[in-house]
């Protein structure tokens, strides 16, 4: 159990990783420790550099807010092997590739938007998983991807024939040529160091190049109404909760300027949605007619923001 940092002014000791990390929303900590300072794992705010401790935001989830810049983040212990094979087939996604049609629909929508700002050239996707976006984008761009997961990358290489590197983005060697576009689709919230990742992406862009990011907007109406029950609150996979303001700050600190902020709809297959709502069991079986009923649904709760930022020419 980590001890509170020297000099930290603690209202209470609330760090009990064996229990709190997996505490449900609305668990005991949420009420009892509201307003208390949490002794967490992160010493300095990733965005503004302010030294912790940080204000509790959703204490039952060990999620805090930086008083300096407003960035909201998970301040609990990191977990090893989060992105094991079960991430894409059970824990986070029911079966990622079974929803391929819906994923491709989302990626084509994002690609159409992207192409309003950059029409072609070299494109890098950070967090490319199975390479479905790269497969859609290569009609218009020379594409490459990076992801920490080996087996979806193997699929991208072997089944789709796209060029992907496996590993952390920040550990990758500098490319020989800069990129015209760097994309991070629903990736920023998972990264160990999202602000540094944005800086790296900016450094790898050619003058006039574009960074395209989608991530949850913690300042959205849905997030404000739902609070700690917002569907996007699930640490430790979702570690960072940006708002328009904090994401803008991260992008501008990296020397880019925001050109557009949009709120795209997201398509999902009914079968995976029923799995998310009902879990495995009789209800899910009934809702999908035993797996025979599946179709794509597009919802827009306006809580996923799509930010386009450009490097000065």
Residues that bind Zn ion (CB under 5 A): 45, 47-48, 50, 66, 68-69, 71
Nearer to Zn ion, 39 or 47 (CB): 47
- Least distance to Zn ion, CB of residue 47, Å: 5
* Distance from C-alpha of 49 to C-alpha of 244, rounded to nearest angstrom: 19
CA nearest to 138, candidates 155, 127, 125, 154: 125
- Least distance to Zn ion, CB of residue 5, Å: 16
- Least distance to Zn ion, CB of residue 78, Å: 19
Nearer to Zn ion, 250 or 266 (CB): 250
What is the total residue count of the chain? 313
Nearer to Zn ion, 69 or 206 (CB): 69
Nearer to Zn ion, 45 or 144 (CB): 45
Nearer to Zn ion, 73 or 130 (CB): 73
CA nearest to 153, candidates 175, 138, 168: 168
CA nearest to 126, candidates 169, 91, 180: 169
- Least distance to Zn ion, CB of residue 218, Å: 14
Nearer to Zn ion, 66 or 124 (CB): 66
Report yes or no: 60 and 25 within 8 Å, Cβ to Cβ.
yes
CA nearest to 172, candidates 162, 180, 157, 182: 182
Nearer to Zn ion, 50 or 138 (CB): 50
- Least distance to Zn ion, CB of residue 75, Å: 12
Burial class (CB in 10 A: 0-12, 13-18, 19+), 256: buried
- Least distance to Zn ion, CB of residue 243, Å: 12
* Distance from C-alpha of 183 to C-alpha of 59, rounded to nearest angstrom: 32
Report yes or no: 246 and 189 within 8 Å, Cβ to Cβ.
no
Burial class (CB in 10 A: 0-12, 13-18, 19+), 258: middle
Burial class (CB in 10 A: 0-12, 13-18, 19+), 302: middle
- Least distance to Zn ion, CB of residue 266, Å: 28
Report yes or no: 135 and 160 within 8 Å, Cβ to Cβ.
yes
At 258, phi and psi to the nearest 5?
-75, 125
Nearer to Zn ion, 69 or 301 (CB): 69
Rg (alpha carbons) of the chain, rounded to whole number: 20
- Least distance to Zn ion, CB of residue 304, Å: 23
């Amino acid at each position: 159990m980590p001890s509170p940092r020297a000099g930290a002014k603690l209202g209470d000791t609330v760090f009990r990783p064996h229990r709190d990390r997996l505490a449900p929303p609305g668990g005991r900590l949420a009420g009892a420790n509201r307003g208390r300072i949490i002794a967490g794992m992160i010493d300095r705010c990733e965005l503004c550099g302010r030294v912790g401790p940080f204000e509790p935001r959703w204490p039952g989830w060990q999620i805090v807010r930086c008083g300096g810049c407003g960035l909201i983040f998970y301040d609990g212990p990191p977990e090893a092997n989060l992105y094991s094979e079960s991430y894409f087939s059970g824990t986070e996604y029911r079966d990622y590739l079974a929803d391929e049609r819906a994923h491709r629909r989302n990626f084509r929508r994002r690609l159409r938007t992207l192409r309003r700002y950059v029409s072609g050239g070299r494109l890098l996707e950070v967090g490319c998983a199975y390479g479905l976006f790269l497969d859609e984008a290569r009609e218009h761009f020379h594409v490459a991807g990076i992801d920490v997961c080996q087996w979806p990358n193997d699929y991208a290489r072997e089944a789709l024939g796209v060029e992907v590197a496996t590993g952390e983005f920040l550990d990758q060697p500098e490319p020989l040529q800069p990129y015209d576009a760097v994309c991070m689709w629903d990736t920023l919230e998972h990264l160990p160091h999202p602000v540094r990742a944005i800086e790296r992406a900016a450094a790898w862009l050619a003058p006039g190049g574009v960074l395209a990011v989608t991530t949850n907007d913690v300042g959205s109406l849905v997030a404000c109404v739902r609070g700690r029950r917002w569907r996007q609150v699930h640490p430790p996979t979702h570690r960072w909760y940006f708002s328009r303001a904090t994401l803008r700050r991260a992008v501008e600190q990296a020397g880019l300027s925001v050109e557009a902020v949009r709120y795209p709809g997201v398509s999902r297959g009914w079968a995976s949605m029923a799995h998310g709502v009902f879990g495995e069991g009789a209800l899910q079986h009934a809702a999908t007619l035993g797996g025979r009923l599946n179709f794509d649904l597009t919802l827009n709760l306006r809580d996923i923001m799509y930010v386009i930022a450009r490097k000065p020419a």
